[in-house]
Each structure stands twice: as C-alpha cells, then as structure tokens.
Chains A and B, each alone.
Chain A
C-alpha cells in the first residue's frame, strides 16, 4: 500500500498566486481530512469529507481557501490568492471504511508551502 500521497511536497510561490495542493487517500478509505500545521497554531483541521461530501469546513480560514473531492481517490485544497501568512505545512489524512470506532487517521507526508 502506497499510503496517503500528497503533491507537491514543496511549493514556493509569490503572494497573490493561486496554489493547488493535491491528495490521494489510501484506496478504500472513505473519509479525508485536510490539516494545516504551523509553529504558532500547531495542527489545525481545515475541512473533512465523508464519502466525498464535505462534512465540516468550519476550520477553513477564509474564502480564499476552497477544497474539493470530486471522487473517492482525489482531493484538492486551493488557495486563491495566496498570502505570506498561508505559509505552513498542509497535511492530508484518511480513514478506512468500516474502521469501527477507532477512526484511525493515516497521514500523508505533507506539502510545505512558502508564500513570499
């Protein structure tokens, strides 16, 4: 099993540019989570999907952020326009279908975003 795959691993962009982060969950997993990690705020949940449907997006910081999950094997997190304060590591995680109450989250390696 390849695990959760995220791309790109590193992204450097200029303020005002559009940024798209991608995630492929583990095959058979039916819940997907996007997190942002910074030194100041730690690990924050941005949004999560269940069966491709957004369930809770209350963590999305503002309208510049949007996330989609067009199918069970792919999700994107888009920032438009990007700002320097969006610089962080963005993680994607997924949960297996019928995992029972454990709901163990499997994390991808993250995308390190730097906005200049």
Chain B
C-alpha cells in the first residue's frame, strides 16, 4: 500500500498488555517511530527503532520490527489508564528528513 496503516481503535483493561500494530510502506525506511498524543496536546516521541534491529525494549514498551512484512508493533506492558491516548507510527524514508505518519490508533484503557 501507499500509506502507513494502523488500526483505528484498541480497548484494553488496566493491567493487561496492549499491542498496537502498524504496516509501513518502504522497506528501505531507516527509522521507525512511535509517538503518543494525549487530548489537546502535541505528539510526544515514545520510542524509535532503527531498521537493522528486530526488537527494542524500553521499560514497559517493546517495539517489534518485521522488515520482510513491513510490520511494526508497539507492546505496552501493564497498561495504565494514563496510557489512554492516540498512538502514531511513522517512518522516515532513506535519504529524507521528513516523516510519514499513520492516522493513529486510539487506545482506551478501562479500569
């Protein structure tokens, strides 16, 4: 496909794990990012992964990258109500400074 694609909505219960999925467009993309947007706020960088990596872990966050399928996922362990937000994945194509964003996945965490 031409676009970075994400599912639009995910609902989980507090304490469960959340997995947000993304497919990107260019197998030569060098960096892939996850951003978080809380209501009324800008985008906050959560984590990123370089394209020669398969996995990156940062506290409760685990990023998995499958280059063959151009699939990126973000796992949030022990999801909290404060994790409720919209999560964007983005790719940076090789040789470009700009990012291409998905439309975002709204994560709703219920108590």
Chain A residues packing against B (C-beta within 8 Å): 4, 31, 33, 42-43, 45, 48, 50, 55-56, 91, 93, 95, 101-110
Contact = CB atoms under 8 A, between A and B. Distances in A.
B42 A4 contact: yes
B57 interface: no
A94 to B, nearest CB: 11
B42 A109 contact: yes
Interface of B: 30-31, 33, 35, 40-45, 48, 50, 88, 92, 97-99, 101-104
B106 to A, nearest CB: 11
Nearest to A4: B42
Identify which of A48, A105, A108 gathers the most chain B CB atoms within 10 Å of its CB. A105
A91 to B, nearest CB: 6
Given A42-B104, A43-B88, A103-B92, A50 B97 contact: yes
B98 A42 contact: no
Contacts of A101: 30-31, 50
B42 A43 contact: no
Contacts of B104: 42-43
A48 B48 contact: no
